[in-house]
Amino acid sequence: MIVNVHVVSTVKLADALRGRAGFAEDLIRALAPRYGARVLDSSLAEATRLEALAAGLLLLDVYGVDTDECLSIGPAGKPYLLDGTVSISISHGGSCCVVASAPGIDGDLGVDVEPVDGFNRLVAHRVFPVETCEWIEAADEGPVRAGRFARAWTGLEAILKAEGTGFERDPRTEGIPDGWHVAHIAWHGHCIAVATAAPTSIELIDHDPADLMARAIECRRDGREGD
């Protein structure tokens, strides 16, 4: 089974927005309102607004999500496409946003992305079971240990997203849920993990922000002409 992981750089997205009037006001009408509202919310940090814009653009471009009614959000924030044609999962971290999908998948999936930027021992021992901490710390300090920490963290988050529970479950005391297969892939200093019920491979699709914005504006223009 293949899971498509769509990724867009929020750094490149910020670059593409420079010189435009306002903060993507001409784009938000094409997005699902739940994302457009966050893009326009000046009380949020710019990084948060960029993540919302990136997610909204990917959902519009790949799945045609242009209204809130296209999505259902579970109690722990897990998104579902209401037409049931594809299972999806969304994550953002570091300098990118990713949306994973698997058409025809039997069951749920989860995705997580994090930058590989070090090992936080305190966080590890607060979150992971003992055996996971031992595996991480068995590696040499530096990039190898940081890589293991990122793999463990993204793998755990992807599983909890696939379960639909998030951190309502305490992996340190309750253990990591069984029955999930985790695949990893690297992207420009980031670690991406996908959790599925069956073994899978990842197809990474890197999107150009300028192209996403151009197509979003075209979608909005086509929508106006159809009104």
Q: What is the per-residue pLDDT for 140?
A: 93
What pLDDT digit, counting tens, does each position of 91-113 carry?
Answer: 999 999 999 998 766 568 999 99
Type of residue found at 82: L
Question: Low-confidence residues of the chain, pLDDT below 70?
Answer: 19, 21-24, 84, 104-107, 221-227
What pLDDT digit, counting tens, does each position of 120-141 carry?
Answer: 999 999 999 999 999 999 999 9
Q: What is the per-residue pLDDT for 128?
A: 94
Do the beta carbons of residue 207 and residue 61 sit within 8 Å? yes
Which residue, among 82, 113, 12, has the nearest Cα to 54 in the 3D structure? 12
Burial of 138 (0-12, 13-18, 19+ CB in 10 A): exposed
Rounded CA-CA distance 143/149 in Å is 10
Domain that holds residue 125: 2-226
Which residue, among 37, 41, 33, has the nearest Cα to 59 in the 3D structure? 33
Q: What is the per-residue pLDDT for 86?
A: 78
Task: Give the chain's domain count.
Answer: 1
Q: Residue 191 sits in a domain of what CATH number?
A: 3.90.470.20
